[in-house]
Structure 1
Amino acid sequence: MFFLAIFLFLLVYCGMCFFFGYMGWNWLEHSFSFRHKKTYILVILVLSLSIFVGYSTSSAVLQTIGYYWLTLTGYGLVLLPIAILLFFLFKKKGIRIIGFGVIFTYVLILSVGTYYAWSPVERNYEVTINKSSERDNLKILMASDFHLGSIVGENHLKKFAHLVEETSPDIVLIPGDLIDDHIEPFLQKNMGKIMTEIKAPLGVYATLGNHDYYGNDDEKIVEEMEKHGIEVLTDEVTMIENDFYLIGRNDDTDDDRAGINELIAHLEHSKPLIMLDHQPNELDEAMKSGIDLILSGHTHRGQLFPGNLLTNLLYENDYGLLKKEELNSIVSSGFGTWGPPLRLGTRSEVVVINVKFK
């Protein structure tokens, strides 16, 4: 099944690149009498292969070029048929103007998408937990899906550290996907130095996401994070100042992860129960178990439109706040990006949750 999936992806990708290249050549040839066919084919081949060469050489530049190219060809499946339809509607006239219209749309997509990916915003939610606590309020800053690696690096991480300082939360929570598969870029670029700057009065806590497992570096990730002051809860529970429980689940990728009931069986359920669970898959189980607040990421809210339509179908809560009886589920679209460093229909974000206890 794995090799079949790879074969199908390559087949579709090759088809997308050929279609995009063929349409581009037709436009250049008919609009400008362009004749350098061999040069054009070489450029298309280089762009098409850049994503694979980028990964094999760990080149962030080639990976970025490859992902931008993938985005262009992907949206080309929508934009180029529209251009063909307009061409025939105008009785095969105006091909040059139609082509420039497509180029303008691509420039707009890449410009807006890049801005939304690298310009994080603050989202705010108000949550009430019907349990008593020593404190009346709790200010949580939550951010998920950093995907720190070759593309998302020090500069973006510094923005997060600045937002934490600016927001002054009581506690910082990171529900998974700290690293983008492999920890080497994190170590090589000394990103841990920036992680050390992330502080909050009640501490900084994280759990692992699916991408933290893919490179088999999960143990190293936990070690590195804790070295820099971030406590990673791996199927663990900790009590914060005798006020509330913080429960951190291993990701669904881990076949041996503990069930929710197993983790909270011996806890005082009269105290607030806050859980970090990277993938928002088990909301019913969390609700029945008495969890008060569950924080997740993973979905990226599709990251690139129309991906949000798919995540909305796949998850009961793919983004934002959902209340199920006494359970409050909050899902973030993420702070970093996976794949293309672009966002359309979503935006890089941190989530500030103002919790009131009754």
Structure 2
Amino acid sequence: MPTYLILILSLTFYLTTCCYIAYNGWRWLQAAFSFKYKKSYIAVISFLSFAFFLSYFIPSVVLELAGGYWFIIVGYGLILLPLANIIYFVSKRRWKVQIGYIISAFFLFIFIYGSYNAWSPIVREYDISINKPLMTEENELKVLIASDLHMNDIIGANHIQRLVSISKEEEPDMILLPGDIIDDNITPYIEQGLSDVMLQLRAPYGVYAVPGNHDYYGGHLLQLRAELEEINIPLLMDETIMTKNGIMIVGREDFTNTERLTIEELMADVPPEYPVIMLDHQPREISEAAEHGVDLIVSGHTHRGQVFPANIITGLLFENDWGHLQIGEFHSFTTSGFGFWGPAVRFGTRAEVMIVNITFSEE
């Protein structure tokens, strides 16, 4: 199916859904409050329906937040309103007001609890072992993983400072940032001076990043790479670095780049005796990584669906959509992310940082 036809059908479905939700809301406002301001109501609904799309042309925190919250209403409205309509007609057109209050209370709960989950990151800790030695006398490594920062007008210095605080408290030996550093546009990153905040992320064996799909979309990938390299955070794009303790860090281009190297090509020149940690934003080729000698792969991208029940979809799409997956001696970690995309809401998930404690041994 042509791309333009998919866009037309998607937009038609979205606008039809917005009208359906607006009609139900109007009928409830009339019944509950004798609401009569129809033109004002239509204006508000029209603003909310197009707010997020407008934010791409008119940078605005208000547009992004309003549009994001409206997406939550649209998503859950598709689930709740048909059910509410059935109950309304089965009850012989009674309980309209009561049903409206219940749905309104549900959305209020989602906005409050979901906002808390989005802005209060949790630390999840794991212990694994890799049967290869390090080049130093140490045999343990503490790795901090934080993906999907999505730095933009909303996710700025305050939230990234939370990551810095967690890092200082955990004192990791290495920090990995597997993609979606910015949210399409690098302008907020520069205007807010976020390099000064990111500069505070420090670890004895380095901080490493790879690009994600949103780092590509705005066309600012190379500029982002230059900004990160100025603060000694290499943005690896189909590149390999050996750390001073003998770990091979392999960073992949994102799946967005159709010309990226395969895992087999990237691993061709990697000596098999060294521990290999791979960063790949989207967890699409987990089994391939296991087959070609990678010891640990870290990813993000999925947000664990961000808002339930989207996690069911990510679970179907990806071999490891969240958490720790072990295949033999190979380990995969996919984090739900530190930031968010779209609505500043997480429901059924929470912003997180992963800590992976690795014990290395020689067999």
Q: Tell me if TM exceeds 0.5.
A: yes
Per the alignment, residue 179 of structure 1 pairs with 182
Match of 1:244 in 2: 247
Which SS does the other structure have where 2:86 is aligned? helix
The aligned counterpart of 2:14 is: 13
Aligned to 1:233: 236
Aligned to 2:156: 153
Q: What secondary structure does 2:55 align onto?
A: helix
Q: Write the letter of the residue equivalent to 1:49.
A: F
Q: Which residue matches 2:107?
A: 106
Question: Unmatched 5+ residue regions in structure 2?
Answer: none
The reply on whether 1:193 has 2:187 as its aligned counterpart is: no
Structure-2-length-normalised TM-score: 0.95
| Contact 1:50/1:65 (<8 A) preserved | yes
Taking every aligned residue pair, what percent have the same amino acid on both sides?
A: 44
Structure 1 match to 2:53: 52
1:174 deviates by: 0.5
- 1:272 is aligned, of 275, 284, 293, to 275
Corresponding letter in the other structure for 1:83? A
Q: Is the 8 A contact 2:144 2:353 kept in 1?
A: yes
Give secondary structure in 1 for the equivalent of 2:242: strand
Query: For 1:118 and 1:73, how far apart are their aligned partners in 2?
Result: 22
Report how far residue 227 of structure 1 moved.
0.9
Query: What corresponds to 2:355 in structure 1?
Result: 352
Any idea what the Cα deviations from partners look like across 1:61-98, whole Å, max 9, x if unmatched? 11110111121122111111222233234433232222
Of 45-54 and 204-213, the range deviating more from structure 2: 45-54
Per-residue CA deviations over 1:249-308 (Å, capped at 9, x if unaligned) read: 111111222222222222221121111111111112111111100001111111111110
**Is 1:41 aligned to residue 20 of structure 2?**
no
What is the letter of the counterpart of residue 188 of structure 1? E
In 1, are the aligned partners of 2:267 and 2:293 still within 8 Å (CA)? no
Q: Is the contact between residue 300 and residue 332 of structure 1 (CA under 8 Å) also seen in structure 2?
A: yes
User: Are the equivalent residues in 1 in contact too, given 2:72–2:343 (CA < 8 A)?
Assistant: yes
Show the counterpart of 1:330.
333
Pick which of 255-264 and 158-167 moved more: 255-264
Counterpart residue identity of residue 205, structure 1? Y
* CA distance in 1: counterparts of 2:270 and 2:94, whole angstroms: 73
Please say if residues 290 and 326 of structure 1, whose CA atoms lie closer than 8 Å, have aligned partners that are also in contact: no
**1:17-28 superposed matches below 5 A:** 17-28=18-29
Query: Which stretches of structure 1, 4 residues or more, deviate above 6 A after TM superposition?
Result: none
1:22 deviation in Å?
0.3
- Rounded to whole Å, the distance in 2 between the matches of 1:279 and 1:39 is 43
Within 5 Å, which residues of 2 pair with 1:41-80? 41-80=42-81
Corresponding position of 1:86? 87
Residue 254 of structure 1 aligns with which residue? 257
Query: Could you tell me whether the CA contact under 8 Å between 1:183 and 1:221 is conserved in 2?
Result: yes
Normalised TM-score (structure 1): 0.96
Output the CA distance in 2 between the equivalents of 1:290 and 1:214.
31
Conservation of the 8 A alpha-carbon contact between 1:146 and 1:177:
yes
What does 1:95-174 correspond to in 2, within 5 Å? 95-133=96-134, 134=136, 135-174=138-177
CA distance in 2, matches of 1:267, 1:228: 27
Match of 1:221 among 224, 230, 242: 224
Question: What is the CA distance between 1:244 and its match in structure 2?
Answer: 1.5
* CA–CA separation in structure 1 for the residues paired with 2:315 and 2:328: 21
- Residue 221 of structure 1, CA deviation: 0.8
CA distance in 2, matches of 1:224, 1:3: 35
Q: Across the two proteins, how many residue pairs are aligned to each other?
A: 358
The 2-side partners of 1:291 and 1:271 are apart by: 10
Which runs of 5 or more residues in structure 1 are unaligned? none
> Given residue 124 of structure 1, which amino acid in structure 2 is its aligned partner?
E
- Mean Cα deviation higher: 52-61 or 301-310: 52-61
Segment drifting more, 205-214 vs 130-139:
130-139
3-state SS in 1 of match to 2:212: coil
1:307 lines up with 2:310 in the alignment: yes
Separation (CA, whole Å) in 2 of partners of 1:179 and 1:39 = 36
What SS does structure 2 have at the residue aligned with 1:55? coil
AA in 2 matched with 1:122: V
* Counterpart residue type for residue 215 of structure 1: G
Amino acid at match of 1:24: G
Structure 1 residues 353 and 89: CA distance shift in structure 2, 3 A: same
Output the amino acid matched with 2:117. Y
For the residues of structure 1 that align with 2:13 and 2:76, how far apart are their CA atoms? 13
**34-43 vs 181-190, greater mean Cα deviation:** 34-43
Query: Which deviates more, 77-86 or 17-26?
Result: 77-86
Residue identity opposite 2:254 in structure 1:
D
